Amino acid sequence: MLPLDPQADIGRRAWVDCPRCADHRGCATCEQGSTCSRHWRYLLSNTGSLLHLQCPSCTHIWSHETHFGATRANQDRPGR
């Protein structure tokens, strides 16, 4: 198991399903699409709409593309 990333801060959280442990399964709050007090992820950083996350349950680190707001494709183009 990995240690928590030094950038992990409980003040920066996201509610995205962990692809490794799927600890949100069976949680009525998560299944309703609400923000659960137990199944949040550390938001380590972001690049536009690409989130870099860590699960506090299993410490898995991954990236998640939200396709919301400022996308990376627009940021990568000069003059935009």
SS3 of residue 30 by DSSP: helix
Q: How many CB atoms lie within 10 A of CB 61?
A: 16
pLDDT digits (tens, 9 = 90+) for 43-74: 999 998 999 999 999 999 999 999 887 655 55
Greater confidence, 23 or 78? 23
C-alpha separations of 61 from 6, 33, 52, 70, 75 in Å: 12, 22, 7, 22, 24
Nearest to 54 by CA among 68, 66, 43, 65: 43
pTM above 0.75, yes or no: yes
Q: How many CB atoms lie within 10 A of CB 43?
A: 20
Share of the chain above pLDDT 90, in %: 65
What's residue 77's pLDDT? Answer: 47
Each domain of the chain, given as residue ranges in start order, spans: 13-76
